[in-house]
Amino acid sequence: MKAVVLNAEWAPREGVTVKPEDEARRWAVNASQIYRNPSASLETLDDPGDPAPDEVILKVGACGICGSDVHMFETDEEDYVILPYHLATPVVTGHEFSGKVVAVGSDVRDFSEGDLVTAEEIQWCGECEACRGGYWNQCSFIEDLGFTINGGFAEYVRVKAKYCWSLNDVLERYGDETTALEVGAMSEPVSVAYEGMFTRSGGFLPGGAVAVFGGGPIGLASVALAKAAGASKIFCFEPLEERRGLAEKLGATHGVDPTQTDVAEYVAEETKGAGVSMAVECSGNFPAVMQSIEGSLGIGGKVAVVGMDPRPATLNFIDHQLKAASVYGTVGHSGSWDFPNVIKLMASGQIDMHHAITRRFPLADLVEAVDETKTRVDGKILVKPVM
């Protein structure tokens, strides 16, 4: 089968300690401290063969390019990747995918050949203390599709059935496989937003105002979820006009360029001084936005930190104390019904993430697609083995 394989040089920075078992597997807890000089190539790999008893084999229909995929290719001044997350190369990248089941393991009960499915990127063990306490995204023995084990930028992908979710209801809504698979590939980024906004931080009361900082794919998903949850005003603070337009299509009532606006003053004026019930950080630019986030919060406001940025940012804790505000760190999308609830919202028409898809590339053009994603003008760019 054809697949895009990422390679990079294993070169821990001076002073970084690596466990011997991680070095043996080339498994980096924080890739930005370990891997440099990344490269990608389209390769011919062995077909997946028969699934293990607990696995399914999927023929990939679509796979989205995430900011994390871009960070695997982007490097700093010392040529280290800027991804502050797990990575083990060589690896087939891509974790936002959907596909059709073409083979089913002997112990699999919930799926049959021909089903359309998507899968969780985070492969939790279910046995460690974190998992047993309900923190699947913080699993002590975590593996990540497209990061540490082969993912979806390929013609086929092998996945344990327990991480898969059916898209058959999405197919019923849209009526054709192509659209259902494209929308289904959006399940992962929408579930990341859902985890931060609702599972981790507990959501907001319908009628409250929501501010989303960053209009990339997860920011757009946050806008759509805020609308579905009954926000009265939805601010999307995004410098690029193209992305502000997409946000407004998905439900933003105010698309605003934060580089040309005093965010706190604007929110205060538009909410008559009440501020927002929830701010969702999706820009991955903490130093630039945290002061604006604090200034926009209302009494009892919540901050869901969904974007990732290894740089420190200053928090003015007195603001949080006086407003009884809360900040929630969040990563991932596993457990607590994130995926099934997102899929139900898609199947019911409460959210329509097809509006967020702006371009499609064949698998052979992945590097070009990543370069296009780096411009941060598009919504979601999909890579498809068959165009």
- 284-323 per-position pLDDT tens digit: 899 999 999 999 999 999 999 999 887 888 888 998 999 9
In a domain, 335, yes or no: no
Q: Are 72 and 125 in contact (CB under 8 A)?
A: no
What phi, psi does 154 have (nearest 5°)?
A: -160, 170
> How much is the mean pLDDT over the chain?
95
Q: What is the pLDDT of residue 312?
A: 87
* Residues above pLDDT 70, as percent of the chain: 100
Provide the residue range defining the domain that includes 278.
190-329
> Residue 31 domain-assigned?
yes
Same domain, 18 and 150: yes
Which of 282, 297, 329 terminates a domain? The answer is 329
How much of the chain exceeds pLDDT 90, in percent? 90
Taking only the tens place, the pLDDT of each residue in 207-251 is 999 999 999 999 999 999 999 999 999 999 999 999 999 999 999
Asked if the structure places residue 346 within a domain, the reply is no
Give how far Cα 94 sits from Cα of 150, 202, 241, 333, Å: 8, 29, 27, 16
Cβ neighbours of 322 (radius 10 Å): 10
Q: Are residues 172 and 318 in the same domain?
A: no
What pLDDT does 185 receive?
98
For residue 335, what pLDDT is reported?
A: 75
Indicate whether 108 and 216 sit together in one domain.
no
Which tens digits make up the pLDDT trace of 147-186?
999 999 999 999 999 999 999 999 999 999 999 999 999 9
Q: Are residues 143 and 219 in the same domain?
A: no
Question: What pLDDT shows up at residue 334?
Answer: 82
Q: 201 and 145 in one domain?
A: no
Same-domain pairing of 10 and 145: yes
- In this structure, are 204 and 178 located in the same domain? no
**Are the beta carbons of 114 and 171 closer than 8 angstroms?**
no
Please say which residue of 314, 329, 344 terminates a domain: 329
Judge whether 138 lies within some domain.
yes
Say if 337 falls within a structural domain.
no
Q: CB-based contacts of 107: which residues, under 8 Å, 6+ apart? A: 53, 54
Q: What is the CATH number of the domain that holds 75?
A: 3.90.180.10
For 289, the token pair is 């936005």
CATH number at residue 286: 3.40.50.720
pLDDT at 38: 97
Per-residue pLDDT of 27-59, as tens digits, reads: 999 999 999 999 999 999 999 999 999 999 999
Claim to verify: residue 367 and residue 301 sit in the same structural domain: no
Q: With respect to residue 336, please indicate whether it lies within any of the assigned structural domains.
A: no
Residue type for 92, please?
A: V
pLDDT at 137: 92
SS (H, E, C) the chain: CEEEEEEEEECCCCCCCCCHHHHHHCEECCHHHCEEEEEEEEEECCCCCCCCCCEEEEEEEEEECCHHHHHHHCECCCCEECCCCCEECCEECCCEEEEEEEEECCCCCCCCCCCEEEECCEECCCCCHHHHCCCHHHCCCCEEECCCECCCCECEEEEEHHHEEECHHHHHHHCCHHHHHHHHCCHHHHHHHHHHHHHHCCCCCCCCEEEEECCCHHHHHHHHHHHHCCCCEEEEECCCHHHHHHHHHCCCCEEECHHHCCHHHHHHHHCCCCCEEEEEECCCCHHHHHHHHHHHEEEEEEEEECCCCCCCCCCCHHHHHHHCCEEEECCCCCCCCHHHHHHHHHHHCCCCHHHHEEEEEEHHHHHHHHHHHHCCCCCEEEEECCC
Whether 7 and 129 map to the same domain: the answer is yes
Average pLDDT value for residue range 269-294:
96
Decide which of 293, 314, 329 is a domain's last residue: 329
The answer to whether the CB of 169 falls within 8 A of the CB of 343 is yes
Q: For residue 207, count other CB atoms closer than 10 A to its CB.
A: 10
How high is the pLDDT of residue 305? 96
The total domain count for the chain is 2
Same domain flag for 83 and 110: yes
Q: Is residue 55 part of a domain?
A: yes
Together in a domain, 106 and 148: yes
Q: What is the pLDDT of residue 377?
A: 85
- Closest-CA residue to 112 (of 63, 155, 161): 161
- Residue-level pLDDT at 374: 84
Q: Read off the pLDDT band of 82 (50, 70, 90).
A: very high
- Which residues are tagged catalytic? 68, 71
Residue 119 belongs to some domain of the structure: yes
Q: What's the pLDDT score for residue 386? A: 83
- Same structural domain, 44 and 88: yes
